[in-house]
Amino acid sequence: MKIDTRLLRLLDASISVGIRGAAAISAFLLQILISRTTGAAGIGQFQILLTSATVISTFSTFGMGLSITRIVAQKRLSKSAIFKTIGNATIASLFILSIIVTIITVNIDYLNNIIDDLNTATILSIVIASAFLSQTEIFGGAARGAGLHSVAQATSYLTTPLIAGILIFSSSYSNADVDPWKSYLIGCCLSSIAIAFISVYWIGIRKGATSGSSDKSIKSMDILKNSSGFFFAGFAQLAGIWIVTYTLSAVATLGDVGIFKAAERFAFIIASIGQSVSVTVAAKYALAHVEGNHRKLVTLAQGATLTTFLMTFPLILVLFVFSDFFMGLFGDEFSQKGEVLRILISGQLFASLSGGVFQLLGMTGNAYIVGRTSVISTIVTSILVFVLIPFGVTGAAIALSVGNAIQMLMLNWAARRFLNVRCDIFHVIGARFKERIK
């Protein structure tokens, strides 16, 4: 049976935003389920383990997901070359992971001050989760570059919280011991396997995958060289939230970590919606840049900005006004912490006004700029965390929001300075209005 890949691309672009949003909501509901069954301390412990897996995954992936997206899109690799490139990326990822495991083993006594009850079984579970997360990113990156955009990766994000939620609910319903982390690990494993099959299937049926395509795969070292900019950009962008999480874990209580991560989950939903828009056009940014089509680049960037704003701004307003109610969904321990949510949501407002400027710069050979702005933002966040940590969760939220706002302002300046593209919503709306009155 012959499958029309043009129809698949159209369907993918149409539903990817919805799937990303559903994935964020599913993860949000999972957090509520965990907090309701284990309390603020329980969700805090779960989030520390999840953050640890994410940190390790970010290092072991080394930005190869986005790098492979750009490589596959620009070089038009054949099916066999794509599969070999995925294999080379996997080998590089596992090599980095082995180094990280060695470092963790040597410094386990020090890490015990940050993560309670850190033992061999816990380390193994974190490493396994990070390995699956890395493979999800690598396969998803190849599929996006081949034209699948984000459905494969978004589906994996949706599947993991759904499977974990079902397992946790079943345990709670049967009065068995609830282990949120083990349930998440199972969901992560199954999702990673699913995305591998989806990506391989899509690349296998991709129209024109062998005709006029390059059969030369990209070696591991070349992938790492091309990925370094994406890694530093992504690492610096996430480092702020990691620093806040681990600082709260070290000087405050697991309950404080749980409250902060519950509020941050709402911000994550908004960020995921914005990312779903920008990821969908990421490969198109790369192609427009290679073709030298500046007009197309501007149209894509401003369209992404407008779509992001229309999808996220109303949600930001609702969460800001009814913050106490939404925090109360996690339980009585959270209901009086609405100010934490309001602060974090205010930080997301800058991302809502700026659209997909992160992907725009990354896919046009300017990932190093994103990295530099992220480093500055992380430094500001780190300083503010240590200054404001006496104020507890509220101080941590202020530090993170200020750091995020500063980065978005710098990224918008960089897009205008180096690409001559304005991504702020005020310019986009003004330009659309001028076109209408002509």
Residues 366-376 have pLDDT tens digits of: 877 877 887 88
Whether the pLDDT of residue 119 is over 80: the answer is no
pLDDT of residue 318: 93
Q: Is 240 left (phi over 0), alpha (psi -120 to 50) or beta?
A: alpha
Instruction: Decide if pLDDT at 2 tops 60.
Output: no
For residues 285-303, average pLDDT: 84
Alpha carbon 295 to chain centroid, angstroms = 28
The residue ranking higher by pLDDT, 206 or 130, is 130
Percent residues over pLDDT 90 in the chain: 6
Name residue, tokens 């003004």: 430
> What is the maximum alpha-carbon separation in the chain?
68
24 versus 83: the higher-pLDDT residue is 83
Of 58, 59, 67, residue with least CA distance to 222: 67
Alpha-carbon distance of 42 to 45, in angstroms, equals 5
Q: What is the mean pLDDT of residues 84-99?
A: 90
Average per-residue pLDDT in the chain?
80
State yes or no: pLDDT of 215 exceeds 90: no
Q: Is 103 exposed, middle or buried (0-12, 13-18, 19+ CB in 10 A)?
A: exposed
176 or 252: which carries more pLDDT confidence?
252
- Domain coordinates in residue numbering, the chain: 5-437
Regarding predicted confidence, which is higher, 83 or 437? 83
Could you tell me which of 99, 89, 83 has the C-alpha nearest to residue 67? 89
Q: CA-based angle 189:193:196, to the nearest 5?
A: 140
- Tell the residue number behind the tokens 């890490």, with chain if given: 111
Q: Tell me if 129 sits within 8 A of 192, measured CB to CB.
A: no
- pLDDT on residue 5: 47
- Flag whether pLDDT at 380 surpasses 80: yes
CA 49 to chain centre: 17
Amino acid at position 288, single letter: A
pLDDT number for residue 153: 55
The per-residue pLDDT for range 69-82, each reduced to its tens digit, is 777 777 777 788 88
The answer, yes or no, to whether residue 66 has pLDDT greater than 60, is yes
So what's the pLDDT on residue 342?
93
**Which pLDDT score, from 0 to 100, does residue 208 have?**
45
Chain segment 153-175, per-residue pLDDT in tens: 566 677 888 888 888 888 877 77
Please report, rounded to a whole number, the percentage of residues in the chain having pLDDT higher than 70. 86
8 Å CB contact between 16 and 150: yes
Asked whether the predicted pLDDT for residue 15 surpasses 80, the reply is no
Q: Give which of 389, 40, 370 is closest to 231, Cα–Cα.
A: 370
Instruction: Compute the average pLDDT of residues 202-213.
Output: 58
Per-residue pLDDT at 322: 92
d(CA 138, CA 87) in angstroms, rounded, equals 10
Taking residues 100-119, report their average pLDDT: 71
